[in-house]
Amino acid sequence: MRTIVVSSFLAVIFAKAALAHGAEAHGAEATWTFDRWVVIPLLTVGLIYVLGGWVLWRKTTAGGPVRAWRAVAFVAGWVTLAGALMSPLHWLGEHLFTFHMIEHEIVMAVSAPLLVAARPIGTMLWSLPRSLRVTAGRFLRRPSVASIWHRLSAGSNATVLHGVVIWSWHTPGLFDAAVTDVTVHRLQHLSFLLSAMLFWWSVFYRSNPGVAAWHLFVTMMHTGLLGALMTLAPKVLYQAQTATAAEWGLTPLQDQQLAGLIMWVPAGTVYAGVAMALTIVWIRDSGAVHRRGGAVGAH
């Protein structure tokens, strides 16, 4: 109970700090951004995870190495997500398309897979009182909830949904709307994060390594195509996003081209690297199954 009180107190203190700074206009120099709709959820999730992990460690030390690795993955995912959405990178992203693209790729290709690899829900549930924990567990196991999750997290469905989110938000009108309207901007980041987490969950936990590698390859190809279209376009497609590029020594078209290259090459490299790793696992596992089958046949 004391831990819950302390956590709540810290959340209120940091929330007040977020509210105090969230309405400030951006200055002429790169600075940290404290948006209440970003800071409060991040702090809440982080505190709940820490509290749940503390309670769980007090109850048992079983599976210590795995739990420690997952905790490291969660912290890394949380820190990179906070950095992308709150650090000067976010401020720069509001002025240059290039940095905005870097921000998005960190959210989707770095933070999302790390958070998914951590499998944090179980740990977070331990932050709740027993009655609420049991109720939440029963709700998550309800057939209707399980069925919806089963359909959404299926490999093809998650890949298509994530692809639709990415392509929809990169239509010029909608992307520029996110730059000029803070509410739309928040929705953009939230949809990128949630659809990416759904996609990576399907890759890590719903598909066998060979199928998961295929979905990563498909995602690499369609995001690479989108990046290539932005890079090779003969004219500026994103007027609002590139409006201040000249202040940074770039033409609007150059800013757009650099952003496209970032989506095309570095982000594609992440998908390709994980796909190659999964392909190796798939080949290794297939070889092991074949050898076991041969050994059984020999007997």
Q: What tens digit of pLDDT does each residue of 200-249 get?
A: 999 999 989 999 999 999 999 999 999 999 999 999 999 999 999 999 99
| pLDDT value at residue 289 | 52
CA distance linking residue 101 with residue 126, whole number of Å:
36
For 131-178, the DSSP string reads HHHHHHHHHHTSHHHHHHHHHHTSHHHHHHHHHHHHHHHTSHHHHHHH
Specify if 291 maps to a domain: no
Specify if 290 maps to a domain: no
Domain extent at residue 232: 2-129+140-285
Specify if 53 maps to a domain: yes
Number of domains in the chain: 1
Closest CA to 199 of 116, 105, 100: 116
Specify if 14 maps to a domain: yes
Specify if 196 maps to a domain: yes
Specify if 124 maps to a domain: yes
Per the structure block, which two tokens stand in for 241? 């996003």
Specify if 235 maps to a domain: yes
| Cβ neighbour number for residue 181 with a 10 Å cutoff | 13
Residue at token pair 């290259």: 261
Mean pLDDT of 255-276: 96
Question: Which pLDDT band holds residue 91 (cuts at 50, 70, 90)?
Answer: very high
Per the structure block, which two tokens stand in for 266? 């570095």
Q: Given a cut of 60, is residue 174 above it in pLDDT?
A: yes
CA distance linking residue 98 with residue 56, whole number of Å:
42
How confident is the model over 33-55, as pLDDT tens digits?
999 999 999 999 999 999 999 99
Mean pLDDT of 10-27: 39
Q: The pTM is what?
A: 0.85
Question: Which pLDDT band holds residue 28 (cuts at 50, 70, 90)?
Answer: low
